[in-house]
Amino acid sequence: MSWGTWFSSEAAPAIPALFPELPTPTSIRECEEISSNTLAQLILYAEQSDPKFKRPSHITSHGREASNEDADHPWVQINSVGDINEVSEDWDVLTFDRAEEGGITCVKSVAIMPCSVQRLASILSTTDTKERQKWDTDLLDMSVLKEVHSSLRVEYRNYRAALSVVAPRDFVILNGQYTSERLTVIYGTSINFPENPVSSRSVRGIVVSGFLIEAIDDSPLTCRCSRFVRVDPKGSIPLWVVSAGKKSAGKILLELRAVVRGENRCRPESQPTRSVVAHSKRTSEISDVQPPVEVENLPPIRHHHSDTMTIEPSLQHHHGNGVQSSVFPLPRTTSEEFHRQQLQHRESRQQREQELMDKLQRRQIVSQRAQQPAHMTEGQVEKLVRSLSALQTQLQESTETIRDISSSLDTERKERERLTLLLQQAVEENKKMRSHRSEPNLFGWEAVLFAVVWPFATYALADFISGRQSRGRR
């Protein structure tokens, strides 16, 4: 099925899974199939939970069903971009994103552009690097690698990173364009292209992106531009850098609007326009997306040629008396004002880059200090060695003191055990003595009397015996 005729069919191709292994097309038919799937994907992104997207009659029922199924994942505002001093009531640009599978978010930016659909499409589809750098300020280089046919080509683009310490990112993109009566889509998706290998000076990324340009009812001088970007930058990038990049995604529409205003200097002065840029989370409500803005009573246009449009002076609108001014006026911008705006945007961008650079450098310094040991002088090393020697000596002395105390404790323990044993023996002796005193004492005063009398009795008995013997001899 050719990508140019897909919308006339009721059988839409299945939406491909984002960021698988990149395809390597080898024929025009394969290129058209990849391009058709990418186009279907961007159309569904535009339909999903966005009441501002006016579905053309050729959008299939498959897309509307996918939009209804995705009602739980609406686009939710995360940031406002632009100079608030230039806006009377509303922000110049608002930003959304939506969480996708794999942790990579899709960022959506929407804005009203003060030009026709054809003029904006011609600016967005340019392949001249200098012309594209006027609004795509991060672009370093681009080139056409291969022309598939008039509406499909392979492009190479190289972008600078948000910080100079981060390597540039390059992409090989199969870029296509679809045009209908009220809708123009310029879209692209990454592919493998063997003729353009990865460079050592940059990191090859993967991207699916596109611009959807819608005509506004009764206003050929204005159009609604929606930009979708889902990029996997690969490599290693801090999360806070990725978050800052998402919040500033709407800046490219401001640059694009400045270029458009610089090319259309003959337009009448008017109020600033309103635009919307969107973040998707599963917990958000569809009511976060503002309702579409109606365009009424735009002044008539007199065409001088295809690129220049003016308004009849006699038909200028004024406030009061039931006559309203244009909701989307187109201010006149001189060349000096255009260059001044470009200079202000450039200075603001440089200031933000410098702030991010300073923040990254501070984090790197803190990390290096935490990881690397501190350098010491020779005197500090000697002082540290002496301190360690003194600590070692104190440790040895403390060890010896502990040993002496332990020995004293052992001696005291043994002495305590000896005294305890003696005390036990004394107690036993005391018990024995008490038991002897309680028994009859046979060796009391009788023993004393016997000890005193026994010698005298023995002497008397001996004297008596000897006397009798002597008398017997007589």
What dihedral angle (degrees, nearest 10) is formed by the CA atoms of 132, 137, 142, 148? Answer: -50
Pairing of strands 169-179, 203-204: parallel
Q: Quick check: 38 pLDDT over 60?
A: yes
Residue 448 lies in a domain: no
* pLDDT of amino acid 220: 79
* pLDDT of amino acid 79: 54
Report the candidate in 286, 247, 261, 231 with the shortest Cα–Cα distance to residue 105: 231
Q: Quick check: 128 pLDDT over 70?
A: yes
Report the candidate in 92, 353, 350, 96 with the shortest Cα–Cα distance to residue 247: 96
**Two structure tokens written together for 136:** 């795509």
- Taking the C-alpha atoms of residue 137 and residue 128, their distance in angstroms, rounded to an integer, is 13
pLDDT bucket at 444, cuts 50 / 70 / 90:
low
pLDDT in tens, 158-203: 998 876 677 888 999 999 999 988 889 999 999 988 888 788 888 8
How many percent of the chain have pLDDT more than 70? Answer: 60
Name the residue with higher pLDDT: 217 or 259: 259
Q: Quick check: 95 pLDDT over 90?
A: no
Report the candidate in 19, 23, 17 with the shortest Cα–Cα distance to residue 174: 23
Backbone phi and psi for residue 207, each to the nearest 5 degrees, phi listed first:
-145, 145
Name the residue with higher pLDDT: 101 or 469: 469
Residue 362 lies in a domain: yes
Q: What is the rounded average pLDDT of the residues 134-140?
A: 91
Report the candidate in 229, 296, 304, 300 with the shortest Cα–Cα distance to residue 268: 300
Residue 42 lies in a domain: yes
Number of residues that make up the chain? 474
Would you give the distance in Å from CA 111 to the centre of its chain?
A: 27
- Provide the 3-class DSSP secondary structure of residue 116: coil
Name the residue with higher pLDDT: 345 or 98: 345
Residue 420 lies in a domain: no
Q: Quick check: 94 pLDDT over 80?
A: no
CB burial of 266-288 (b: ≥16 within 10 Å; e: otherwise) equals ebbebbbbbbbbbbbbeebeeeb
- Taking the C-alpha atoms of residue 137 and residue 368, their distance in angstroms, rounded to an integer, is 33
- Taking the C-alpha atoms of residue 268 and residue 300, their distance in angstroms, rounded to an integer, is 12
* pLDDT of amino acid 469: 67
Q: What is the rounded average pLDDT of the residues 98-121?
A: 78
pTM of the model: 0.49
pLDDT bucket at 135, cuts 50 / 70 / 90:
very high
pLDDT in tens, 273-309: 333 333 333 333 323 333 333 333 333 333 333 333 3
Q: Are the C-beta atoms of 124 and 186 separated by less than 8 Å? A: yes
Q: Which domain holds residue 197?
A: 3-310+324-368
Q: What is the rounded average pLDDT of the residues 239-263?
A: 79
pLDDT bucket at 157, cuts 50 / 70 / 90:
very high
Q: Is the dihedral of CA 38, 40, 42, 44 positive or negative?
A: negative
* pLDDT of amino acid 359: 81
* pLDDT of amino acid 185: 93
Residue 316 lies in a domain: no
* pLDDT of amino acid 104: 67
Residue 386 lies in a domain: no
Best-predicted range by mean pLDDT (85-94, 322-331, 465-474)? 465-474
pLDDT in tens, 398-417: 999 999 999 889 999 999 89
How many domains is the chain built from?
A: 1
Which CATH number belongs to the domain containing residue 189 in this structure?
3.30.530.20
Long-range contacts of 426-435 (CB under 8 A, 24+ apart): none
The residues pairing with 80 across neighbouring beta strands, listed in sequence order, are: 94
Residue 68 lies in a domain: yes
Tell me, what amino acid is at 112?
I
Task: Give residues with Cβ within 8 angstroms of 135, minimum separation 6.
Answer: 123, 252, 255, 256, 258, 259
Report the candidate in 272, 263, 271, 249 with the shortest Cα–Cα distance to residue 338: 263
Least confident of 310-324, 329-343, 413-427, 443-457: 310-324
Q: How many helices (H) and strands (E) does the chain have?
A: 9, 13
**Two structure tokens written together for 16:** 């491909």
Backbone phi and psi for residue 110, each to the nearest 5 degrees, phi listed first:
-130, 135
- Taking the C-alpha atoms of residue 430 and residue 234, their distance in angstroms, rounded to an integer, is 98
Residue 98 lies in a domain: yes
Q: Are the C-beta atoms of 255 and 73 separated by less than 8 Å? A: no
